[in-house]
């Protein structure tokens, strides 16, 4: 892999290249390559998660006079797995993941979690290699810019709550949900859920729990109705 291209892309040049590589080593890769010279990235992810939360918290504290509850919601919206996976995709981190053959074939929700974890591990690696200031610089360049959209589009509110709030305001209706389909064994169920405003079907979503499917259905409805 051309790690120098990645370094150029993220504007960080590592002194210890092994830290950079390790940030992308998924546990599954070591199951198939037990003699690989580096460990998996979970300890780096643990460190990067803490650094990310501190940098974002510090930024919010010094730039917004809002009450704690709002700041906490905003922080959660830009450090959650969905947002981090989106940023990781933008940075093309997917090309650098070291995965087992089975994991490499899965491009669904599990891959999004792996990408989010790899971004946190990369941040942990930057912190170890370059120090806190460099790690903070990475967060300010790649993650903090998402904050403006989170606030203006109210992405800090979960989709179900936002849909209910807007539907009640615009139409005087509370959304309701119905399971349209479920499949899979008991230990790995999947659900398709529809969301309705009165009799009108306004969105659908799938998830590994009814709650997840409802959230995705609400997101779908917000997009289709032009409310997001």
Q: Residue 225: which pLDDT band, with cuts at 50, 70 and 90?
A: very high
Q: Residue 122 contacts by C-beta under 8 Å, 6 or more apart in sequence? A: 10, 20, 23, 24, 44, 48, 93
Q: Compute the distance between CA of residue 147 and CA of residue 166 in angstroms, rounded to an integer.
A: 21
**Per-residue model confidence as pLDDT tens digits over 13-25:** 999 999 999 999 9
φ/ψ (deg, to 5) at 16 = -105, 100
Domain ranges within the chain, ordered by starting residue: 3-152, 159-225
**Set 2, 18, 45, 49: catalytic member:** 49
Q: Is the overall model pTM greater than 0.85, yes or no?
A: no
Q: Spell out a b/e string for 118-133, using b for 16 or more CB atoms within 10 Å of the CB, else e.
A: bbbbbbbbbbbbbeee
Q: Compute the distance between CA of residue 47 and CA of residue 207 in angstroms, rounded to an integer.
A: 29
Mean pLDDT of the chain: 93
Q: Compute the distance between CA of residue 180 and CA of residue 213 in angstroms, rounded to an integer.
A: 10
Q: Compute the distance between CA of residue 123 and CA of residue 119 in angstroms, rounded to an integer.
A: 6
Q: Which helix (H) or strand (E) holds 176?
A: strand 176-183
- Between 195 and 158, residue with greater pLDDT: 195
Task: Identify whether 219 is a catalytic site residue.
Answer: no
- List the beta bridge partners of residue 193: 179, 205
Task: Identify whether 18 is a catalytic site residue.
Answer: no
Q: Which CATH number is associated with domain 3-152?
A: 1.10.1520.10
Q: Residue 43: which pLDDT band, with cuts at 50, 70 and 90?
A: very high
- Angstrom CA distances, 142 to 8, 198, 211, stand at 14, 41, 30
Other Cβ atoms within 10 Å of 95 Cβ, number: 11
Q: What angle do CA 80, 193, 104 make, to 5 degrees?
A: 50
- Closest among 160, 143, 179, 144 to 227, alpha carbons compared: 160
Residue 41: predicted pLDDT = 97
Q: Residue 153: which pLDDT band, with cuts at 50, 70 and 90?
A: confident
**Set 7, 18, 45, 120: catalytic member:** 120
Q: Residue 187: which pLDDT band, with cuts at 50, 70 and 90?
A: confident
- Angstrom CA distances, 70 to 60, 61, 102, 114, stand at 10, 11, 41, 28
Least-confidence region, from 3-12, 88-97, 132-141, 183-192: 183-192
Sheet holding 190-197, edge to edge: 176-183, 190-197, 200-207
Residue 167: predicted pLDDT = 94
Is the model's pLDDT at 193 over the cut of 80?
yes
Domain 159-225 has CATH 3.40.1280.10: no
Residue 132: predicted pLDDT = 98
């Amino acid at each position: 892999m051309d790690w120098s291209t990645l370094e150029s892309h993220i504007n960080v040049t590592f002194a210890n290249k092994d830290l950079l590589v390790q940030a992308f080593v998924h546990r599954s890769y070591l199951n198939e390559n037990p003699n690989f010279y580096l460990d998996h990235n979970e300890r780096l992810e643990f460190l990067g998660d803490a650094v990310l939360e501190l940098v974002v918290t510090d930024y919010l504290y010094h730039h917004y006079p809002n009450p704690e509850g709002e700041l906490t919601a905003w922080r959660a919206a830009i450090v959650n797995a969905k947002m981090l996976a989106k940023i990781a995709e933008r940075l093309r981190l997917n090309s650098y993941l070291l995965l087992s053959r089975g994991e490499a074939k899965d491009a669904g929700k599990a891959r999004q979690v792996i990408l989010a974890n790899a971004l946190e591990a990369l941040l942990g690696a930057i912190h170890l290699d370059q120090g806190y200031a460099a790690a903070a610089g990475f967060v300010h360049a790649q993650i903090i810019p998402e904050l403006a959209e989170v606030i203006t589009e109210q992405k800090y509110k979960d989709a179900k709550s936002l849909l209910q709030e807007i539907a009640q305001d615009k139409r005087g209706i509370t959304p309701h949900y119905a399971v349209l389909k479920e499949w899979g064994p008991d230990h790995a169920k999947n659900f398709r859920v529809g969301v309705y405003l009165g009799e009108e079907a306004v969105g659908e979503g799938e998830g590994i729990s009814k709650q997840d499917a409802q959230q995705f259905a609400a997101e779908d409805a917000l997009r289709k109705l032009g409310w997001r």
